[in-house]
Structure 1
Amino acid sequence: MLNIILNGCFGRMGQELQNEIKVREDLIVVAGVDRNQQEADFPIYQTLADVKETADFVIDFSHESSVPELIEQCIQKKLPVVIATTGLSENTKQKMEEASHTIPIFYSANMSLGINVLIEALQKITPALEDDFNIEIVEKHHNQKKDAPSGTALLLADSINDVSQTKKDYIFGRNGKENSNPIDEMGIHAVRGGTIPGEHTVIYAGNDEVIEFKHTALSRRIFANGALKAGLFLKDQSPGMYSMSDLLK
């Protein structure tokens, strides 16, 4: 039985994780961290520093502003941590990189296995298409999502740029009457509404032909399952920075 601490345990994803772990015989939540104090089947604390229970790893689905403090507390407690919170600043990512010299850290802007397989596909086809096709990304999410564009849209864009001979400039939405829309631009467009869990479409548009890759999240369960797989992977790792590409090897 592996012990888990949930950071952000009463958020949407924290509750989804609770539901998934309840039906597992190999996992148990021993403590939760959340500023919102509610009743639960396990002790709730304001910060990880207050947690008394021992755990095998931490899973974080919280707010980007709380991640730097969480990292420091994981270092102090020598706890591996899966960080699934999106919208992280470059300073926070740098802090994660530094902390990974001391503890194992797993970070992904999207915990879906499908999205990460999609990334591998995009990286295979982009070199053959980049000279002749405009590449655009459209992402859709529920109306409660605060950050735009989504971390996943940026993850997809970065994965394309990583294998492009000519790096593309990101254009966040388009407006104006004199846009030239050159090949070396990549438009990233955000849609917000209703209860859409998450939808990402990558469009390769050439002369007289269009290729589209689309991933639709039908529920948040896929992200919970991915985070749990990440935690199970991380518990046996030495200090370092890990991602879905390591998990899928």
Structure 2
Amino acid sequence: MLKIAVIGCTGRMGQLVLREINQNPNVDVSGALTRSGSPFVDQDVGTLIGEAPLNIAITDAPEKAFHDADVVIDFSRPETINISLHEILNQQKPYVICVTGLTDNQKASLEKASQKIPVLIAPNTSLGIALLKKLAVLAAEKLGSSYDVSILEMHHRHKSDAPSGTSLSIAQALATVDHLKENAPPYPSRSPRPTNTIECAVLRGGSITGDHSVIFAGEKDVITIEHRTLDRTLFAQGAIKAAQWLFAKPPGLYSMDDVAGISL
């Protein structure tokens, strides 16, 4: 049985992942890491998620949290990554990182780490988003430069990073198409839109889990490819699937495209 440690275990997504692991007969919780000094330290994981005790205590010590794990899933925050990554490298654990808002330096650190361990970067763990990217790239290639390409994303009011990591990954995929430029900054309000750029529009409000649309606007028609998340457990189940896929993979940098078997 695959043993999984969860970083950011007391957050909304961390708790969802723990519940999904506990209900999945093919995986098991081996450790749970929270921030230093958290009031949840030493509480049983089962108690945290409203289940029977699992005899696994929440800890703020990475070396203890990762010790028995086959794979580590991270749903924490960008500022905690360096500490966790250091210990993950020490223990040579496969790493599924689902944190958004990463800096360029953090991305470079993950790329360097992937030379020694398998690292899967997944700002969105939905396999549907992997498919959306594939379809969007195909549409951009077939429609050509006569269509303007835009990404529209909507999330709940509390989401701190904008554009979302998912939107940026969609833009990055689209930028592989020859005539498109990667996620150009918003064009000046008094100027026409520059040609062959990828516009990214952001909406924040309410409790929207996550909606992403890629819009191809032509002179005579508009084509929209859309993905809507209806339940956050989708992300938890996707993270577990990613962990199962990553286990025993060689060192390297991976994404949900690899898990879905989609090549962009």
Q: TM-score, normalised by structure 1?
A: 0.94
1:246: which partner in 2?
258
Contact 2:67 2:91 in 1 (8 A): no
Contact 1:137 1:187 in 2 (8 A): yes
Change (3 A) 1:34 1:240: same
Aligned length: 247
1:97: which partner in 2?
111
Distance 2:39 2:73 in 1: 18
Helix, strand or coil at the partner of 1:91: helix
Query: Are 2:7 and 1:12 equivalent residues in the alignment?
Result: no
How far off is 1:52 after superposition? Answer: 6.8
| CA offset digits 1:143-191 (Å, max 9, x no partner) | 111101101111111111112334245234x663x12112222221111
| CA offset digits 1:68-114 (Å, max 9, x no partner) | 22211100011111001111111111101111111111112211000
Helix, strand or coil at the partner of 2:184: strand
Q: Which runs of 5+ in 1 are unaligned?
A: none
Contact 2:118 2:251 in 1 (8 A): yes
Distance 2:79 2:18 in 1: 23
Distance 1:37 1:58 in 2: 22
Q: Which runs of 5+ in 2 are unaligned?
A: 47-55
Contact 1:202 1:212 in 2 (8 A): yes
Contact 1:138 1:200 in 2 (8 A): yes
Match of 2:90 among 45, 55, 76: 76
Distance 2:65 2:198 in 1: 44
The aligned amino acid for 1:37 is P
Query: Are 2:235 and 1:233 equivalent residues in the alignment?
Result: no
Query: Are 2:60 and 1:46 equivalent residues in the alignment?
Result: yes
Distance 1:238 1:169 in 2: 32
2:196: which partner in 1?
184
Query: Are 2:45 and 1:33 equivalent residues in the alignment?
Result: no
Contact 2:172 2:182 in 1 (8 A): no
Q: How does 1:124-135 map to 2 (within 5 A)?
A: 124-135=138-149
How far off is 1:207 after superposition? Answer: 0.2
Match of 2:168 among 154, 166, 170: 154
Distance 1:18 1:84 in 2: 14
Distance 2:58 2:216 in 1: 47
Larger strand fraction of residues: 1
Helix, strand or coil at the partner of 1:122: helix
Helix, strand or coil at the partner of 1:225: helix
Distance 2:121 2:242 in 1: 9
Contact 1:4 1:29 in 2 (8 A): yes
Distance 1:171 1:132 in 2: 20
Match of 1:59 among 73, 80, 90: 73
Distance 1:55 1:168 in 2: 38
Cα RMSD of the aligned pairs, angstroms, is 1.5
The aligned amino acid for 2:76 is S
2:151: which partner in 1?
137
Contact 1:138 1:188 in 2 (8 A): yes
Helix, strand or coil at the partner of 1:5: strand
